[in-house]
Each structure stands twice: as C-alpha cells, then as structure tokens.
Structure 1
Amino acid sequence: MPRATVIGSGPNGLTAAVSLARAGYAVEVIEAAPTIGGGVRSDTSTLPGFVLDVCSAVHPAAYSSPFFRAFGRDRIDWIIPEAAYAHPLDGGRAGIAWHDLERTADALGPDARAWRALLRPLSSHIDGLLDFTGGSLLRLPDDPVTAVRYGLRVLEQGSAMAERTFRTAEAAALVAGVVAHANSALPSLSGAAAGLLLMAQAHAGGWAYPRGGAQRIADALADDLRAHGGRIRTDAPVADLSALDWGDPRQGDLLLLNTAPRLALTLRDVPVRYADAVRAYRYGHAAAKVDFALDGPVPWTNPDVALAPTVHVGGTREEVWASENTVAQGRISDRPYVLVVQPSVLDDSRAPAGRQVLWAYIHVPANSDADATELIVRQIERFAPGFRDRILASHAVSARERVHLNPAEIGGDIFGGAFTMRQAFVRPVLSRTPWRTPMPGVYLASAATPPGPGVNGMAGWHAARTALADAGERVALPDLFTP
C-alpha cells in the first residue's frame, strides 16, 4: 500500500488526507499543535463553558463547497441564519442581509433594484460561480456566462464605480462590510472578487456555521479519515522536510503540505526557479483578534442586528474604506473596521444559559503586536451602548502571536498569502496545476494554492486529485466518496 504523509491538519490537509485514504493510501497526518483543525479549531480561552473559535467562525464556503457536499454535509449540524449578516450605522439604523434576497432588496427601498441586479444573477447560478472561483483561473469555466457576469461586477465594485451603485447608506455599507473581508486597500478588484462571492453565497446556501463550534468540521473529517485507516499525530512540529521519513516517491509515496509553501524549500534538490517563485510569494496584512465572554446579549441599538451571527462594525462605506486604507499604509485606524461574530445568538451550546460569546478581529499591519481589545470595545460600544459592561472576560491574540497558533499564518496573515489579483493567478506559481511541485511526489495543499482563503477544502481536494492523476488513479469525486 503506498503511503501519503500530510503536514498540517487544517481543513485542506484533512480534506486531502480523507481523499487519499479513500483512494487506498496509508495516510498519516502530522500536526504541530496539540489539537487538530488549523483554521477550524475551538477552545475555551476566556472562561470555562464559553466555546470560541480560534480562527474561522462562519463558513459559507464550507457549506456550499463541492467537496463538503460530496463528503456529506449532514455529518455536521449546520446553523443557517435567517439574517446572514448585519451592518449597524449611527442613529439606530442598520443594513440587514437576509438569507432571502427579495426580503433584503425590499428593505433597501430605492436600492432594491440595484441589489437584485448585483446579486440575483450570481446567487441563482451559484454552482457556476463556485466552479469558476473554486480552482485555478487558468482554465475555461463550465458556466462562462456566469463567469463573465461575475467579472463585470468585480470591475464595477472594485473601482470608483462602486460609489455610484447604491443611493442608501445601508446598501453601500452592506457591500463595504463584506468586501473588507479581503484585508486590502479599497476599492480593489481582489476585495470585490472576494466580497461578491460571499454575498452571493449569503443568498444561496447561506452563511452557515457548525453548531458547537468550528472544531466540528475538523472532527467530522478526522473521524472519516480514521474510519478509512488513516492516522493523526499531534504535538509534532516539522521545520525541516529533509529530515522527515515520508517514503519513496518512486514507489508511489506522497507528501502533501498544508503549510506555507516555503516549507517545501527545506527539501533536497529544489529547482532554483521554483525556489525563487516561492520566495517571491507575498504575504499580506494581518488580523488581531479578541474573544469575549459576555453576561448576556450584545445591546445593539438596532434590534435586528441581534438576529445576525455575523456583524460588520465600522460605520459607513466611507469609514470602512478609510479604515482598510489606513492598514494598507502600514498603520492601525483609530476607528477600525471590526469583523464580529456572535454565534451564541443561535447556538446555545456555546455559552452557559443566559450568557453569550463574541469573536472579533480588526485588520492590522503584518507582525503587529497591538492588543486590539480597547479599539474593538469602543467600536462596538458606538452601536451597542453598554457592551463594555457585559464583558466577563476577554482574550486577545496579536498578529505577531498568531504564528504560534498556526505556523502557516506568516506575520499574522490569515489568508495564506496576500489576496491580490496577481496572486489569484500566481498562487504561489503560475500554473494550471499549482498544487504540483517539481519535486517528485510532493504537493501543496493549503490556502497558498487555488482557490485561496476560505474553509472549503478545495485546495486539499485539488492537491489530492492532482496526485492521484499523476499516479494514474483517475478518480472522479462521486466515485471517491461512494460509501
């Protein structure tokens, strides 16, 4: 039986491991941390009984992912919020993006037509959009019409034209809050590309998240891996691949890296051209995160905001853009854009009865050692007076400290590399199969390969499929996951 060694137990690493174990490989996953999951871990870092997610918290990409749909989404208890995300504004106003596109549009009044025009063609053809964005962009899409529509909207929302799309502050803020996920200067094509995909998913499958925490995703994958003979070893950091016994590629053995690509350079006989390309791969700005244990719900001025697990806090579109552009210039905004998740509004397993948890981060320059607690509290207080008094405990992690949680987060970059238009194509090299390295038997299976950031498992699945194709194993996805 050929061996497959996977370094890193994030969602992409576990996806690759499951795929290869089901294809008949003897799989071992090696994880540096004491627990598995990488970007899908949960812990009790604030107080006992309060379950918070270490990295990602809401997973529309996982719920809509072709991999997870084939794997079996029913293995995880998904919560699909009626209110996908909210964006509070001063004076008690707020924009609410409902799972129902028509409800969202109707609430936007004079912007109803523009909202429908922007998102209905994408959300109603979500499979075509996911096909186009779910792998290498150096190929012909299965649904070229949807791909063209998406591209045209990216050009619109990624440029100054975005300012002319909507007339109401609510609609403009709803878009800005999602586009700002990309952690880039705004407006930008990369931000618009990421934001439009997320917005389309909100009105298609929804902004789902697992009941009980993100760890449920890793646990479901790990259970399937073990059921097919795979093993997982934790507390086992790997800093030098040249010293690792991962088998013999001439005998069909494989090494898959759910890590930063630079780890591949520790192998022997790395071609100079490939090494230079990996060294040129850029990492982006970072995130500084704070977890809160609360003695009750967040007292949002607008009560509808309390219905949405995901809240974008930062004021108007202009304020969000200014905050992100300040980070792009190497500084931290005094009034930052804050990405907030309040999972326990719909998941009572996350906190003791009557209590709640809140997960929040701001964007900061790479390697920043800033504690974001006070900046986050002040911004939430702006739209939820009394929030500060609800805090029982908090736990802050700076950008510089994030690499200790996940070695793949270089400088605190949670995306596995700057999400720019160039690196949408060159990730980390320009190739139709960037998961394959020039070293025999070695493949990249991380967010540093297409489709990039997001918990969807697709990078790991593409890496496994590429390895199987190279080995002569032509395994289609439905066949691979037939019980």
Structure 2
Amino acid sequence: MEKNYDAVVVGAGPNGLAAAITLQRAGKSTLLIEGSEEIGGGMRSKALTLPGYVHDVCSAIHPMALASPFFRSLPLSAHGLELIYPDIAAAHPLDKESAAVLFSDYAKTIQHLGQDAAVYRRLTSAVVENWEALAQDTMGPLRFPKNPLRLAAFGLDALQPATWIAKRFSTQRAKALWGGMAAHSIQPLSNFSTAAIGIVLSAVGHRYGWPIPKGGSQSIAAALINYYKSLGGQVQTGFWLKDVRALPKHEVLLLDLTPKQILALTGVEWSVRYRKQLSSYQYGMGVFKVDWALSDPTPFKDAAASRAGTVHLGNTFAEIAENEWRTSKGQHVAQPFVLFSQPSLFDTERSPAGKHTGWAYCHVPHGSTVDMRPAIEKQIERFAPGFKDTILATHTFNTRELEAYNPNYVGGDINGGLMNLAQLYTRPTWKLTPYRTSEKNIYICSSSTPPGGGVHGMCGFHAAKTALSDHFNVSLSL
C-alpha cells in the first residue's frame, strides 16, 4: 500500500464499487479497500445451510439494478453478469381471495387489477413512460430538475404517505399489492414519502422487471469488480480501516461507510458541527433474515405465488400497515410483513437437482435480537401449507449478526439510515451536496447519502462525480 493514488475508496459494496469505477473511468488511479476477504457488501452469496445450496446473504432481487442510470452505463454482461426475469415480478397472496400480482407486463397488471386499473395507471404511468428522465432528477442530490413539471407531477404523489394513496383503491387486492410495494420503505406507511418507493418499485418492475442474478447476487459484485480491474483499478481485501493515517497517500478519500463507522475513524478531525450532524443521524428498523435449504418448491396455495420471483406475505393493506407501525414502535409482531424470494425456481445453479432454496426477512425493531424465525415460517405456512415439511436446513441472521457481518447495517438497518422525508435527500447532513464532509478531501459514498438504500450504485457515482469536480476539474454526466 505504499503507492500514491489519486483516490482511495473504502468499502466494496455496490456504492464503493460504483465510486471506484467512476473515478477509474475518469482516468484516475484508484485503490479499493474492503474489510472482508470478499468484495460485494450486500451483494454476496454463500453456502449458508448445506453444501450445494447457494444463498444470497443480503440482497436477492434487484428491482433497481437496471433502473439505475449508472448500472445501465456499464458493460456488465460482457463481464459475466446474466440476469433472469420472472414473468411475475411479485405476488401478494391473500387469505380470502386470489393473489394480487405485479406482472412485468404493464398491460397485464392493469388488466389484472380490474376496477382499480385506472387508479393504478394514473399512479404509475408517468414513471413507467418517463423513468429514464425522472431517474436523473430523483436518484441523486437535490438540484433544479431538468423537467420541473414532470418531477412535480411525480412528487405530488410520491411525497404522500402510502396510507393516503391506499384510499384511492377500492379493492383489497389492489390495496394489498400497493401495501407490499410501499412496505419496502421500512417505516410506518403513514410516514410522508412512503409512497415514493411503492410507485418506483412498481413502475421499474414494468420497465425493467425485478431481475435475479444467475448464480447469486455475488455475480453482480463479480461483474463490477471484473470491470473495475479491466480499467486498471486495484483492490485490497481483508483490511478494516480504523485510522485514515494507515492509508497510502491519496488526493481524495471516499468512504462507503455510514455515520456510525465514520465517527469511529481516527486520524481525522471532523468539525464540531459536522460531528454533531452525523451523531444525530437516524437509523431505522432492522431486519431478521432467514435462509432455507428446501426439499421441494414452496407449496403456495395460489398458483401465481408459485410463479413469482418475490412474494409479499402480509395479507391486507390494513394488516401490513398496522404491523409495520407496531414494529417501528419497538414491538415484535406475531404476523410480520415477510418478503420471500424463491430464486431456485428460475436459477438451477442455486441448489442440487430437484431441491430448492428460500430467502426471507421481516422488519424488526432496531437492534432486536429476538428470534423471528418461528413467526416468519408461520406466516409462510399461512399461505403455503406444508412449507415447514420441506425444510432441510436453516440459517438465520438477527440484527446484531447482520451488523457484525456488514457494519453498514447498523442495528439491522439495510437502508443505511431511515429514509423518511427528513432524510430522503438530506442524508446524512442538511447539505445540497451531502457527499462532502467537513474535510475537503474526504467524501461519503454510502447509502447514507442520496438516493439511499438499494443496489444501484448511484450514491457512489454522485460522490465520485463531486470529488472529480472539486479536485480534478472533471465534469461527468450519465
């Protein structure tokens, strides 16, 4: 590590990789440092249960991958990434009627929603039709939009609580489908701006699908690192940064870390004001995650759920909203909202012939160590009787174990901080360019910056873009 670099990037998750690639593409010499022995952050796959079963440790389905302007600009397929697209992106089974379904086909979804078709179309059509333009204005820091009228039309709905939007729908199926989408925000659905994630996830599902990376999420990380190395970038794994003075000489430093880890670094003197702002940064609910090796496909009662890449298990909108609110208040609910994925239905590389894998998590209070596996399995069994009989082996992560595995998941928060209205774009500080820190050559490129959580790399791109402009007089755009 004695060589001098234009830039050092700490953390090789999707945003650290994006930052390093952006800098390297601009002709700058970079070193990417990762504490783990493997790169990827949330994009890792391991044999967590039995030999031959490949499980995604964190992220599994990637709705925002191709919705990301940055990822779309990369030749990832040329570097080994193959994506699989289920026809049914997500299904939402109900106790008393057939499942609500998000088909990749927009027209099919509209037809499926029947009397709520017009409401759904009005809510999502502008995003489906204009996502590429909207992404430029929404997937980054606050700035004057390229198309103010288009953004304003989206914002009028997106900034509302999901509970307000739900009142527009008349059927339980449409309300439930909407609730499952909005619950990805990992906060009470009565919070302002929770509609944004529901609208975007639905719309990009029609625009790009909800793809599954063949071979596991590690395949995305592998393609990114292969591309980065092809540009001449250098990597060092197994190095946990504690003191910035241990780094080689560099012009700029980019940190794919959240405020908690940044404040723990030594060798840098943050200003009193900046330290105070980072100290007041809010983290959100955590997740409890389960992986299963299964003898058979999950026996959902509803055929649509048996064909979906992702299944939302929470029954009605009212039930989801109530349980998410209670969880945010520190309660452990008996019937949590469960996000379930069954990648082995579509990717034969995930399990031995004839066998399957299951992946799921539910939201829990921040820092919880309560074992939610029984509640999650009971919720799956509710909609897939006989599921427990297919379980061959199980692996679980509570919030503390997740944070030990990936320190950016503070208290089990996989979004890098609460994504409420106050922290949607002004994260982690109230700055128009929140990637800058109080030290002129240090930047934050993690999901604690806009546009927040998800495998899209846009936080890393914008941080690197800022550093290139500030220090190298290089202007970038996508």
Task: State if a TM-score over 0.5 links the two structures.
Answer: yes
1:27–1:188 Cα change, 3 Å: same
Number of matched pairs:
471
Q: 1:144 aligns with which of 144, 148, 162?
A: 148
1:56-110, CA deviations, whole angstroms, 9 ceiling, x for partnerless residues? Answer: 1111211111111111243421112211101000145200110111111111221
Q: Which moved more, 1:166-175 or 1:264-273?
A: 264-273
Quick one: distance in 2 between partners of 1:422 and 1:44? 39
1:160–1:359 Cα change, 3 Å: closer
Deviation at 1:244, TM superposition (A): 2.0
1:10-59, CA deviations, whole angstroms, 9 ceiling, x for partnerless residues? Answer: 01001111121222332222111121100111111011111111111111
User: 1:275-286 residue pairs with structure 2 within 5 A?
Assistant: 275-286=275-286
Q: Which moved more, 1:376-385 or 1:267-276?
A: 267-276
Quick one: distance in 2 between partners of 1:112 and 1:470? 48
Secondary structure of 1:62's aligned partner: coil
Q: 2:131 aligns with which of 114, 126, 137?
A: 126
Deviation at 1:143, TM superposition (A): 2.4
1:56 is matched by which residue type in structure 2? S
Quick one: distance in 1 between partners of 2:221 and 2:159? 36
Quick one: distance in 2 between partners of 1:467 and 1:456? 19
Are 2:210 and 1:207 equivalent residues in the alignment?
yes
1:66–1:155 Cα change, 3 Å: closer
1:114-164, CA deviations, whole angstroms, 9 ceiling, x for partnerless residues? Answer: 111111122111112212220012x111222331122122255x1653342
Quick one: distance in 2 between partners of 1:217 and 1:172? 33
Is the CA contact (8 Å cut-off) linking 1:239 and 1:263 kept in structure 2?
Answer: no
Quick one: distance in 2 between partners of 1:117 and 1:238? 48
Quick one: distance in 2 between partners of 1:314 and 1:435? 36
Quick one: distance in 2 between partners of 1:404 and 1:53? 17
Name 2:164's counterpart in structure 1: 161
TM superposition score normalised by structure 2:
0.95
1:210–1:464 Cα change, 3 Å: same
1:163–1:445 Cα change, 3 Å: closer
Quick one: distance in 2 between partners of 1:60 and 1:377? 25
Are 2:86 and 1:114 equivalent residues in the alignment?
no
Is the CA contact (8 Å cut-off) linking 2:286 and 2:366 kept in structure 1?
Answer: yes
Is the CA contact (8 Å cut-off) linking 2:162 and 2:179 kept in structure 1?
Answer: no
1:454–1:160 Cα change, 3 Å: closer
Is the CA contact (8 Å cut-off) linking 1:92 and 1:301 kept in structure 2?
Answer: no
Is the CA contact (8 Å cut-off) linking 1:4 and 1:246 kept in structure 2?
Answer: no
Quick one: distance in 2 between partners of 1:11 and 1:430? 24
Are 2:64 and 1:98 equivalent residues in the alignment?
no
Quick one: distance in 1 between partners of 2:27 and 2:222? 21
Is the CA contact (8 Å cut-off) linking 1:288 and 1:398 kept in structure 2?
Answer: yes
Is the CA contact (8 Å cut-off) linking 1:88 and 1:302 kept in structure 2?
Answer: yes
What RMSD over aligned residues (CA atoms) do the two structures have, in Å?
1.5
Q: Which moved more, 1:332-341 or 1:111-120?
A: 111-120
Structure 2, unaligned runs of 5 or more: none
Secondary structure of 1:309's aligned partner: strand
Structure 1, unaligned runs of 5 or more: 479-483
Secondary structure of 2:254's aligned partner: strand
User: 1:26-41 residue pairs with structure 2 within 5 A?
Assistant: 26-41=29-44
1:73–1:228 Cα change, 3 Å: closer
1:61–1:159 Cα change, 3 Å: closer
Deviation at 1:239, TM superposition (A): 2.5
User: 1:248-327 residue pairs with structure 2 within 5 A?
Assistant: 248=250, 253-265=251-263, 266=265, 267-327=267-327
Name 1:175's counterpart in structure 2: 178
Identical-residue share of aligned pairs (%) = 41
Q: Which moved more, 1:321-330 or 1:145-154?
A: 145-154
1:94 is matched by which residue type in structure 2? A
